[in-house]
Chains A and B, each alone.
Chain A
């Protein structure tokens, strides 16, 4: 958990009261103007880690993954009983690890993806490189069509892909004309 105070972004000196109140004031150390917008979460503490409680009675339900720990909650997606250790809170739902893995690949993929290939930009850079090496023209065109079919987390920047396609077409046509001229 972060234990450092709210501080100036530049010199890391602690913020003044006025800055914490949301007024743009100079830092007490480096004199750079700054401020902070505070939310109630700043005053709270992280919940204590849940390690699960041992089964106290034979009739008590146990965790699906830990037979000796008592079930505290059921998975909102698959219904498995979960102890404090196995319970994962995601968007205010209780989820087990298996469902998290499945969700990351399936319906919640957009919220779990951490990185992705930027096919539009890759196609554009390939098209630019193709200005010097025309054989890359078809490659840029192919990358554009891959970009069209690829699922992206955020909407694509279409003009980049279209520019890559146009350049790719021009380079391909130019390469074919050059080949024909050499052949003839």
Chain B
């Protein structure tokens, strides 16, 4: 119970709740509580001034959970009804048990699971990390959260240059992508010995990896999903594709630029660090 001598609480408003995770609002930041159903809970704070972007994607986790829960409950109710029916040697008792179980247990629980099912995955991006926000499970809740904290974030970042935000965002994202692609192409695959240089045949437009004569590293690189590096050439002719591939350092040759390696190692650590923390499993 709150006493008169208690300090006023920092976190008074809960923005979202999903399972044991919740999102709370403070004056200049939001805090996610994880593990609310466990013996210990952890706190993670995101200051409004640090939030660069909020990304989301749709998911069908809620549908899968609902179908699975409903199916399991139906089986359990049917099994119990069968046992009661056989045990009492009177089929109507089993039917009645089954109907009661269905109406009282299976349907309400399934409906509750369906209403609270997750249909969106959200991440907050700051300068140093991207963290999944498990507390936001539905698009409706996300819209409410954005309506609440969006203006506060903009107010906290009012002194930052926001002119032509959209165009500059696209340009910056493109440059980050180019840097990542360039960095990735210079990484050596561990455990593989360098091969003598082999001619690289142009890949079929729009098809990732796998063509004959394409070096394994290039094929792996494309298979990893770096389609954007190839996308400008997806619709181009085979000659344009060959020109693009010629720009990728030959994987069979030793590194031409030793200075690339330390950066690659450092940025690999960055890549490993961002995005994995708090990433909700599908």
Interface, chain A (partner B; CB < 8 A): 1-6, 8-15, 17, 20-21, 24, 27-29, 32-44, 46, 91, 107, 110-111, 113-118, 121-122, 125, 148, 153-155, 157
Contacts and interface: CB of A to CB of B under 8 A. Distances in A.
B53 interface: yes
Contacts of B41: 115-116, 118
A111 B11 CA distance: 9
Contact of A153 (B11, B50, B51, B173): B11
25 contacts: A2-B129, A3-B176, A3-B180, A4-B180, A4-B271, A10-B282, A14-B173, A17-B170, A21-B166, A24-B58, A32-B58, A35-B56, A36-B56, A37-B146, A38-B165, A40-B160, A41-B127, A42-B53, A43-B168, A111-B26, A114-B43, A118-B36, A122-B39, A153-B10, A154-B11
B220 interface: no
A27 B274 CA distance: 20
B112 interface: no
A1 B225 contact: no
Nearest to B267: A3
Contacts of B1: 148
A153 B34 CA distance: 13
Interface string B21-61: 01010101001010111111111010001111111111100
Contacts of A9: 55-57, 121, 123
Nearest to A91: B28
Contacts of A21: 166
A34 B52 contact: no
Given A41-B50, A153-B31, 8 more contacts: A2-B126, A4-B180, A5-B177, A20-B173, A32-B57, A110-B9, A116-B40, A154-B31
Interface of B: 1, 7, 9-12, 14, 22, 24, 26, 28, 31, 33, 35-43, 45, 49-59, 121, 123, 125-130, 146, 150, 153-154, 157, 160-162, 165-166, 168-170, 172-174, 176-177, 179-180, 183, 225, 227-228, 231, 267, 270-271, 274-275, 282
A37 B53 contact: yes
Contacts of B165: 38, 40, 43
Contact of A5 (B43, B49, B176): B176
Nearest to A1: B127
B162 A40 contact: yes
A91 B1 CA distance: 29
Contact of B43 (A1, A32, A46, A113): A113
Given A3-B179, A44-B160, A39 B40 contact: no
A43 B168 CA distance: 7
Nearest to A27: B57
A102 to B, nearest CB: 16
A39 B157 contact: yes
A40 B157 contact: yes
A167 to B, nearest CB: 17
A46, A115, A117, most chain B CB atoms within 10 A: A115
